[in-house]
Amino acid sequence: MGNLFTRELPIDILVKGWLDKLDSSLFDQIFIFFSFLGSLLAFIILALLGMIFFIKYKKYLEGIFVYMSLLISWVSMYYLKLLFNRERPPGEKIISTFGASFPSGHAMIATVFYGFITYLVLDNLKIKRRKLTMGILGGLIFFIGISRVYFNVHYTTDIIAGYFFGGVLLFIIIAAYKLIRNK
């Protein structure tokens, strides 16, 4: 029995098989879009826009935390990848990438960054719009992760781990934000 992080697990094979059935130029374009929304460039652009927005409305703490959510998740992902050092699946499709596979940085950072933005938005919306916002941003995070399996640059277990580690960080960041905001 090999190391858990060097072999495919049944869920990896099952999800990849299902996504392989979707192989088409339409899905290629859809998943390129979602993969981009989980890229470093997209996160930097959105963090800068978020900071400008919050500064404009004198919500400095929120602006700092949007930026910090990106920075903390990026640094954490980097060290987790060094720790686990799982190789990527062979045969990437359309897009290429480098570095270790586990956990998925796209999934982890999307969970933290878009999750924290979701938290801030939900804090200021009426109940009817909260469900729509949660659905849209939750779907965005989900499809960012799925896009990485579709392009065969991650295993499904990399994505699940990214969501897990991202969820833990998101919880910590929200708790720290609440603690500082309420002082």
CA dist., res. 89 & res. 149, Å (int): 9
As a whole number of angstroms, the distance between CA 72 and CA 166 comes to 10
Q: What is the pLDDT of residue 2?
A: 40
Domain edges within the chain = 23-86+93-181
Question: Per mean pLDDT, which of 12-21, 34-43, 88-97 is the most reliable?
Answer: 34-43
User: Residue 37: what pLDDT?
Assistant: 92
Can you list the pairs that 129-134 forms with residues at least 24 positions away whose Cβ atoms lie under 8 Å? Answer: none
Whether pLDDT at 166 is above 90 = yes
* Least confident among 13-22, 129-138, 159-168: 13-22
Give the E-state strand segments of 38-175 in sequence order: none
- What pLDDT digit, counting tens, does each position of 33-81 carry? 999 999 889 999 998 888 888 888 788 888 889 889 999 999 999 999 9
Q: What is the mean pLDDT of residues 107-119?
A: 93
Phi-psi region for residue 117, left (φ > 0), alpha (ψ -120 to 50) or beta? alpha
